Chains A and B, each alone.
Chain A
Amino acid sequence: MTFTRFLERLLQLIPVLLGVSVIVFVMMALTPGDPVQIMIGDQIVTPEQEAQMRRDLGLDRPVVERFFVFLGNALQFDFGQSFYHRRPVAEVILERLPATIELTVVAMLIALFTAIPLGVLAAVRKNSIFDRIATVGGLLGVSLPGFWFGILLLMLFAVHLNLLPVAGRINYGISQGITPYTHFLLIDTLLNGRFDAFRNALAHIILPAITLGLPMTAILMRVTRTAMLEVLRADYVTFAQAKGLSRQRILWRHALKNALIPTVSVAAIETGSLLGGNMIIETVFGWPGLGRLVVESIFVRNYPLVQAAVLLYAVIYVMLNFFADILYTILNPRVKL
């Protein structure tokens, strides 16, 4: 892929983001509920005090004007003040982002490293007991509601076996003295040479990551299995067998590379949907990430935060698809971007 092609793809982001900001802004404006009223609750305030609060939040201006102010500021990466945190939205989002990225990446890795081998095995041993168990397991994985499965895991591993913690990213006591180079705890603890803290962070992330990654595991396994079955019927595989190549070599070197093509595109899309799954999983496991922040912000109509976060989601989603396309061309040189 040439550099100009890359730039072109990057430029395509602009209309997408513009569209997303219009949609989010309109949707938030149309959602019934008034942030000032929610803040006041049942407290007695005079109309002047209420008007003052509205002025402070910039809600006294007409919607159209607010939109253009938002757009103008957003172009300069200024997303305004969070109504509730009373700090710049970008700051609030950035401090919650690493937790979400870390959780998403671990969930994705768990999904990839279990789904692909399982999918290959299921394809190789088609119609065996293993294949059937994997199929049923896959179906369950897709259909189990995440919050329910998460609570089930908590009851088992935290309450009954008392092996793993319920909430948070790391114990306070054990995390003392760790320099946050990356804000990804699994990496920071290792960079600091603190294996005790690494184990603690791992114990915290394992249940949420499994819960979050489960649907993705199930889907990827199904995709890998189907793709693998198709590839194994291909002429070049028969030829390789005839040539006397070892079965392992045929499977992992020749067949898998081609079977992975659909898996990669599905994985990219699924990683995007992990971002959505985060909102629920972060709530169940008290994970201090962005997903939960967005949910909380929607409930209290924290407009600036929701707008900025959704824009960020859109950027991540578009970028993921972009990288999937690049990976696709590497795996399958016949496809040009």
Chain B
Amino acid sequence: MKVIHRTIVASAIALCMAPAVQAQELVVGFTRDADTLDPANHRNRETETIIRNIYDGILTRASDMQIHPEIAESYTQVSPTVYDFTIRSGITFHDGSSLTVEDVKFTLDRVILEGGMGDGQTSPRGSLLGPVESVEIVDDSTIRITLSEPWPLLPAMLPHQQIVSQAHVEEVGSAGMATQAMGAGPFRLADWRRGDSVILERFDDYYGGATGIPEAGPACVERVIFQVIPESASRVAALLSGDVHIINELPPHSMNQVENSPNAQVMTVNGTRSFFLAMNNEGDIFDDVRVRQAVAHAIDRDLIIDRILGGTATKIDGIMSPDAFGKNPDLPEYEFNPERSRELLAEAGYPDGISVTLDTEGALRDTAEAIASLMTNAGITTRVQVGEGTLLTQKWRTQGGEKEGDMYLTSWGNSTLDPFDIFVPTHRTNDRGNSAGYSNPELDALLDEAGAELDRERRGELYQQAEALVNAEVPYVYLWVPQDIYGVSTRLSNWSPSPDSRINLHRACLD
């Protein structure tokens, strides 16, 4: 009897203490608030990170960046400019209504059509769908997207568009969509305290998310809060004190502090932004490939990654991230060798070295100074000149216009991890991001061929060839891809960071 009595008391105490009494609440210490909760009305990465827990897309990416059908069941490419998507049946929005092909067409039309948002407003996200010309309903379960020209990026770019309910948009209007989010994602909006937090609650009728990623079903945690904490030291404090469970943009200098804490750990993932040094290929000095090679040999990337970036970057020998599609894994490395630099300079007719100016913006000043001192040691006397970001892009990304200046330390983001989005703009003759002013008809032909190639494998091979070609010519010195660093509570499981900085909390659990 006594034993039973004790057991009851013990269970009662255990019940009182059980965390089940409180809603299981996962808090993300996040750098920035959402600008809006309307998936069609923003141009901001953090906003998208939050929105994508409320809304699902036709396609999505897993944390390994592979593309998976989400609201779609499958998709096929009918011709270079036509794609068909089969939409799953049985998906419901948070208000209980069914998601139909009409909703999908409505969503995409809202983004691509001029004035598509209503009230004469055009979505700022239209350009993310490039040459999408029209969206048609083929039958009850099929949507056809037609492009005005071949665009291999379509599947990689579709995860950036989230499906809205036509009835809901018509009810609340585009202005209402900014605050009244209602999607088909794993969480529904509970409250948005502007500037403070976005509070989401589990959607119990969730269909389960992407096919091909295991463990479908409603989300694990009951509530998710994106708590805005812009200052990195405060985000770290919130993680260490247990107030939050995930923080983004953990500064490298705080990694030790987090690692040493018993209740938190560091997680890293290669980001999607490549850093490089553009040399003015049109100028008198850098039109000689030997001088460009001399620069490549002069920079000790390992040293800079170790000392300035806290070891949180991955070296690259071509423009693309090691995780990107079409990356050539066998590119030769220009190893750090200042003696070789001096020899190459002498061969190029500069036995006494050269003097150059290195442009960069304020945020990269430390890195630029380090590069300059390494180059100066190798006979390339370098002066760093800090400028304002947009003025520098105007000066360097001239798209064929005349270019002044010697070198430019800069970067290019590639959230699709597809060469089309980074290799082409930075290397094709007179393209948008071609800061080096590099022009090589052979490369242009390769890039154009790859852009129109339907066979994915063949397309990858073409980009690999192109990277090998560029590696020998070094129009840029390729530096590194920084890692995205997250601080994570040891209570968190089933979550890993994603290179596109998406924080998908569908499967994340807390113990």
Question: A residues within 8 Å of B by Cβ?
Answer: 32-34, 37-46, 49, 52-53, 56, 84-87, 92, 95-96, 99, 147, 150-151, 154-155, 158-159, 162, 165-169, 172-173, 283-286, 288-289, 292-293, 296
- Is B32 interfacial (CB-CB < 8 Å)? yes
Q: Is the CB of A37 within 8 A of B237?
A: no
Residue from A41, A84, A167, A289 having most chain B Cβ neighbours under 10 A = A167
In the complex, besides A167-B29, A286-B231, 15 extra interface pairs with C-beta distance below 8 angstroms are: A33-B388, A39-B124, A42-B421, A43-B43, A43-B128, A84-B36, A84-B44, A86-B36, A86-B41, A87-B175, A95-B194, A96-B195, A99-B195, A162-B241, A167-B227
Given contacts A44-B421, A154-B237, contact A84 B225 (CB under 8 A): no
Which chain A residue has the least Cβ–Cβ distance from B179? A87
Whole-angstrom CA separation of A99 from B25 in the bound complex: 24
Instruction: Point out the residue from A56, A147, A286 that lies within 8 Å of B228, measured CB to CB.
Output: A286
Question: B residues within 8 Å of A by Cβ?
Answer: 22-23, 25, 29, 32-33, 35-36, 38, 41-44, 114, 121-122, 124, 126-128, 130, 175, 178, 190-191, 193-197, 199, 223, 225, 227-231, 233-234, 237-238, 240-244, 388-391, 393, 412-414, 421-422, 425, 432-433
Instruction: Point out the residue from A33, A85, A168 that lies within 8 Å of B35, measured CB to CB.
Output: A85
Instruction: Point out the residue from B38, B127, B193, B238 that lies within 8 Å of A43, measured CB to CB.
Output: B127
Residue from B25, B41, B240 having most chain A Cβ neighbours under 10 A = B240
Q: Is the CB of A167 within 8 A of B228?
A: yes
The interface residues of chain A lying within 8 Å CB-to-CB of B178 are: 85-87
Q: Is the CB of B41 within 8 A of A33?
A: no
Q: Is the CB of A84 within 8 A of B229?
A: no
Whole-angstrom CA separation of A289 from B33 in the bound complex: 12
Which chain A residue has the least Cβ–Cβ distance from B33? A288
Q: Is the CB of A86 within 8 A of B42?
A: yes
The interface residues of chain B lying within 8 Å CB-to-CB of A44 are: 127, 130, 421, 425, 432
Which chain B residue has the least Cβ–Cβ distance from A49? B127
Whole-angstrom CA separation of A22 from B423 in the bound complex: 44
The interface residues of chain A lying within 8 Å CB-to-CB of B124 are: 39, 53, 56
The interface residues of chain B lying within 8 Å CB-to-CB of A43 are: 43, 127-128
The interface residues of chain A lying within 8 Å CB-to-CB of B127 are: 40, 43-46, 49, 53
The interface residues of chain A lying within 8 Å CB-to-CB of B121 are: 56, 86
The interface residues of chain B lying within 8 Å CB-to-CB of A41 are: 43, 413
Whole-angstrom CA separation of A85 from B126 in the bound complex: 17
Instruction: Point out the residue from B199, B228, B393 that lies within 8 Å of A37, measured CB to CB.
Output: B393
Q: Sample 5 A-B pairs with CB under 8 A, ordered by A number.
A: A45-B127, A52-B114, A147-B231, A286-B230, A288-B197
The interface residues of chain B lying within 8 Å CB-to-CB of A99 are: 195-196
Whole-angstrom CA separation of A18 from B23 in the bound complex: 52
Whole-angstrom distance between the Cβ of B201 and the nearest chain A Cβ: 10
The interface residues of chain B lying within 8 Å CB-to-CB of A286 are: 196, 227-231, 234
Q: Is the CB of A42 within 8 A of B25?
A: no
Given contacts A86-B178, A96-B194, contact A39 B231 (CB under 8 A): no
Q: Is the CB of A158 within 8 A of B41?
A: no
The interface residues of chain B lying within 8 Å CB-to-CB of A84 are: 35-36, 42, 44
The interface residues of chain A lying within 8 Å CB-to-CB of B35 are: 84-86
Whole-angstrom CA separation of A293 from B38 in the bound complex: 19
Instruction: Point out the residue from B130, B190, B196 that lies within 8 Å of A168, measured CB to CB.
Output: B196
Residue from A32, A44, A95, A283 having most chain B Cβ neighbours under 10 A = A44
Q: Is the CB of B225 within 8 A of A158?
A: no
Which chain A residue has the least Cβ–Cβ distance from B23? A173
Q: Is the CB of A289 within 8 A of B195?
A: yes
Which chain A residue has the least Cβ–Cβ distance from B190? A172
Which chain A residue has the least Cβ–Cβ distance from B229? A286
Which chain B residue has the least Cβ–Cβ distance from A151? B233
Q: Is the CB of B241 within 8 A of A166?
A: yes
Q: Is the CB of B412 within 8 A of A42?
A: yes
The interface residues of chain B lying within 8 Å CB-to-CB of A151 are: 231, 233-234, 237
The interface residues of chain B lying within 8 Å CB-to-CB of A33 are: 388-391
Whole-angstrom CA separation of A311 from B237 in the bound complex: 35
Q: Is the CB of B425 within 8 A of A159?
A: no
Q: Is the CB of A288 within 8 A of B196?
A: yes
Q: Is the CB of A292 within 8 A of B230?
A: yes
Whole-angstrom CA separation of A159 from B258 in the bound complex: 12
Whole-angstrom distance between the Cβ of A303 and the nearest chain B Cβ: 14
Which chain B residue has the least Cβ–Cβ distance from A148? B233
Instruction: Point out the residue from B197, B230, B237 that lies within 8 Å of A158, measured CB to CB.
Output: B237
